[in-house]
Amino acid sequence: MPSKSFMFVPGDSEKKLGKAQQLGADTIILCLEDAVAEPNKPRARQMVQAYLQAHRDTTEPSLWVRVNPITTDHMLKDLVAVMAGAPSGIFFPKPSGAEDLKTLDHYITAFEVQNGIPVGSTKIMSVVESCIGTLNQSQFAGASPRMSGMCWGAEDMSADLGATTNTDEDGVHFLVHQMNRANCLVVCNAGNMQAVDGICADYRNEEKLREECRRARTEGFTGKIAIHPSQIAVINEMFTPSESDIEHARRVIQAFEDAPEGAGTVGLDGKMLDLPHLKRARRLLQLAGEQY
């Protein structure tokens, strides 16, 4: 079952690391990048490694690490430290193209072998947040079998563009960010990856967060990044299918199973359903953690 909520936790904060397991997020992303000041990065690596080793045998939440970009001197040092703790995955910021992901894949393989981790078990999720990454986003779908998901970011992207902000006076993202977001959704579904919606920066505005989650789920996203613990419960709620949705999906699947072999359409509740309805029903049950 894909994660619904992803929560960033600074890797150098003992207080926040100490609370991470109780936040209720499906996935904790231990951050070594933007959330950690330059002088604190060596200490943060040690703290994240210790945290992973202390919690590696727990089943919830899933523990990922956001490393520094591949263009920095930090990324290999990050991997040396954190792969010893066997994280579930590496959250990879600012990839430029497929070659960056392939290079990361090779690095991870070497560290898996070194640390006795099953080869291929460490997943990758990338965040598209640069101009060059946006241009090359279509490459990411087949870049590595480790790729399990992608999300998009407007903060670093706006800095890359030289923009002073990323939203208009009504709080709506400018078209360039909407384009990046839409491409993320398309590429993820083309590459059989999870599409994760970006942050709601106005973390005190629950109504706005709910609307963003509602729209994202309607469009096809299956999870969202949280930047504050107060956002987690809302995200989990909004990306969890309702009982009525689940029951309807079961009935759609049953209708196709009861239909004559090879039937491309079925009738249900006075409506004609075709194969895209079946695909949506199966996907919804997958989100709900059901087998079908």
pLDDT in tens, 225-268: 999 999 999 999 999 887 778 887 788 777 777 778 767 788 77
The answer for residues whose C-beta is within 8 angstroms of residue 138's C-beta and 6 or more apart is 183, 187
Residue 232 and residue 126 share a domain: yes
In a domain, 173, yes or no: yes
Q: pLDDT of 145-194, one tens digit each?
A: 999 999 999 999 999 999 999 999 988 999 999 999 999 999 999 999 99
CB 42 within 8 A of CB 23: no
In a domain, 86, yes or no: yes
In a domain, 154, yes or no: yes
Residue 183 and residue 260 share a domain: no
Give the predicted TM-score (pTM) of the model: 0.88
**Residue type, position 38, single letter:** E
Which of 201, 218, 238 is a domain's end point?
Answer: 238
Domain that holds residue 266: 243-287
Domains in the chain, number: 2
Residue 263 and residue 162 share a domain: no
In a domain, 292, yes or no: no
Percentage of residues of the chain with pLDDT beyond 70: 99
Residue 224 and residue 91 share a domain: yes
Residue 233 and residue 248 share a domain: no
Burial zone of 257 (CB within 10 Å; 0-12 exposed, 13-18 middle, 19+ buried): exposed
Residue 152 and residue 13 share a domain: yes
Peptide bond into 61 cis (omega under 30): yes
Mean pLDDT of the chain: 92
Residue 251 and residue 148 share a domain: no
Mean pLDDT confidence for 109-129: 97
Residue 134 and residue 215 share a domain: yes
In a domain, 95, yes or no: yes
Residue 233 and residue 188 share a domain: yes
DSSP H helical ranges for 56-97: 74-82
DSSP H helical ranges for the chain: 14-19, 41-55, 74-82, 98-115, 131-135, 155-161, 175-190, 206-219, 232-238, 243-258, 275-287
CATH number at residue 137: 3.20.20.60
Residue 199 and residue 82 share a domain: yes
